[in-house]
Every structure is written in structure tokens, then in C-alpha cells.
């Protein structure tokens, strides 16, 4: 295993593995969390890891799906198709749809002035074109806790 690459002036967390070449790579969703962007928009933060004995195996890529922008609907459809979900059913994305699932992405290199070169997702390939079957059912969205407005009608005589 290679040593972690880290630039203390870089906003991105530590990555492991060698920088993968540009092109198509299989990735696994290592984590997906709901967050709020700096502009105050809801977003999903993905940590994708290059997998399966490819050049760049172990390299982590950060991808953000931010709501309330002009590309949101297109990006949601691409993500759903890449992970084998029916994109015609407009389900609001949540972390359980993607956790520990695999997809194929097209990577490109990016280097901002003063930062190390990094790989970023150019686009996701549809699962039906890659032959990738995500057989594990997605985790269901957690149920919301019921809120009781008026507790005056409840019987105080509880047998336990």
C-alpha cells in the first residue's frame, strides 16, 4: 500500500492509492452522507473508491450532488442509472440508495493552481451499458419519528 498523499493546504481529505489514469474506472461508494453546501443547499457527499485490481486501486474521489442547481435533475438521473435504479421513478436520492454499491465512472484529471493533480468524475456510465449488476437491495430511507401534537387524549393508566 502506498503512503497517503496529503497537502495540508488542500481542502480535500487524505487519499490513498496512485492517481488513476483518465478514462473509465469501476468505483465503490465508500460513504454517502447528507450535508449542506456552503451556499446553504442540501447535498449528498460521495466518497468513491477505485476498486477491483485496476490502476489507481484504493484512490478516493469526492463527488457532490448539490440540489437547487441547473444540473441537479440530470445528475440525479445519471446517478440512478449508474447504480441500476429506475431513473423514470423520480425518487429523491438518499444515502441508502448508493452505499457499498458499484458503478463505472469516466475520470478526468484536474489541477488547480497551488494544488496537487487529482482525479474527478466527468460522468457516470449507465449500469445497463457496463453490465454491472447491483444485486444488493438498497437500504430503505429511515422512517421519520412521529410527532404527537396533543398528548391529552392518551390514557395515563398504562399496565407497564
Query: The C-alpha cell of 160 is what?
Result: 407497564
Residue 55, all three cell numbers: 490502476
Do the beta carbons of residue 62 and residue 12 sit within 8 Å? yes
SS (H, E, C) 73-85: HHHHHHHHHHCCC
- pTM for the predicted model, two decimal places: 0.73
Q: What fold is seen in the domain 23-130?
A: OB fold (Dihydrolipoamide Acetyltransferase, E2P) (2.40.50)
Measuring CA to CA, which residue among 116, 115, 82 is closest to residue 101? 82
For residue range 18-71, list pLDDT tens digits in order. 899 999 999 999 999 999 999 999 999 999 999 977 888 899 999 999 998 899
The grid coordinates of residue 158 equal 398504562
Amino acid at each position: 500500500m502506498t503512503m497517503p498523499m496529503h497537502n495540508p493546504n488542500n481542502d480535500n481529505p487524505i487519499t490513498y492509492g496512485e492517481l488513476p489514469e483518465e478514462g473509465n474506472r469501476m468505483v465503490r461508494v465508500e460513504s454517502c452522507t447528507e450535508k449542506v453546501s456552503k451556499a446553504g443547499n442540501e447535498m449528498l457527499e460521495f466518497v468513491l473508491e477505485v476498486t477491483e485490481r485496476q490502476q489507481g486501486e484504493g484512490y478516493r474521489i469526492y463527488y457532490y450532488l448539490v440540489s437547487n442547481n441547473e444540473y441537479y435533475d440530470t445528475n440525479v438521473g445519471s446517478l440512478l442509472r449508474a447504480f441500476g435504479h429506475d431513473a423514470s421513478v423520480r425518487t429523491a436520492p438518499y444515502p441508502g440508495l448508493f452505499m457499498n454499491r458499484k458503478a463505472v465512472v469516466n475520470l478526468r484529471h484536474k489541477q488547480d493552481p497551488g494544488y496537487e493533480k487529482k482525479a474527478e468524475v466527468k460522468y457516470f456510465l449507465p449500469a445497463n451499458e457496463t453490465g454491472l449488476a447491483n444485486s444488493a437491495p438498497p437500504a430503505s430511507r429511515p422512517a421519520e419519528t412521529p410527532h404527537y401534537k396533543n398528548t391529552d387524549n392518551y390514557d395515563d393508566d398504562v399496565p407497564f
